[in-house]
Structure 1
């Protein structure tokens, strides 16, 4: 098949996993340069090597995973009443969050900037929740 991917770059998160690795191989076979993103550096490199051996272009990159809760400036600025009127579930989540607020886009962006910095050079393969602590409780 020709999906017209030549000259394009594909970033595949979980690229060393069972499904992600096949995604990487198919994208490379279609002509895309593939970046195999995974927490498992050796496994990501194995997939990238397989792609290169088949004539494709691939790079292996280890990464961290960020799992935000509801993060949206527009929602974070709403009063309790406005939030409940928008979607009662959002207000229940805000109330259940130990910080008693919803996250903002900047909360995630600041973490990404830190993880990209030299100060975090030894942090890899982590799943980091940006949740305001909501994951400490179930509701």
Structure 2
């Protein structure tokens, strides 16, 4: 599951979002059904994808980069907003952007790893020879 952001850590990231935000997707209605506007922003200068709900940062996923790879380290969602599908929305869009950039994924983040294991369409982003390292199947399971 996504971890909770503490007040100090959240404020540091909120400032980063305000100062260096760039939209990576058009705003859409929040999947929770409460009518909030959500968007995911890629902030490459800070190595994060942030999810914004009603103009406030709700969480982020942090990554590191290497040659041809983006390693997702952890995903954090504000405790008050957990259980609304925000982490899934955030990770899905981060993985989609990563695919569009032609990068592979190393899912060190437990939430990202679980998301990939539950959404076989993203398994190809993890190099086959590294999947065992992340307890992922070598090939997509047919259902």
Name the TM-score class by shorter chain: under 0.3
Higher strand fraction: Structure 1 or Structure 2? Answer: 2
**TM-score normalised by the chain length of structure 2:** 0.27
TM-score by length of 1: 0.28
Instruction: With a CA cutoff of 8 Å and minimum separation of 6, indicate the structure with the bigger relative contact order.
Output: 1
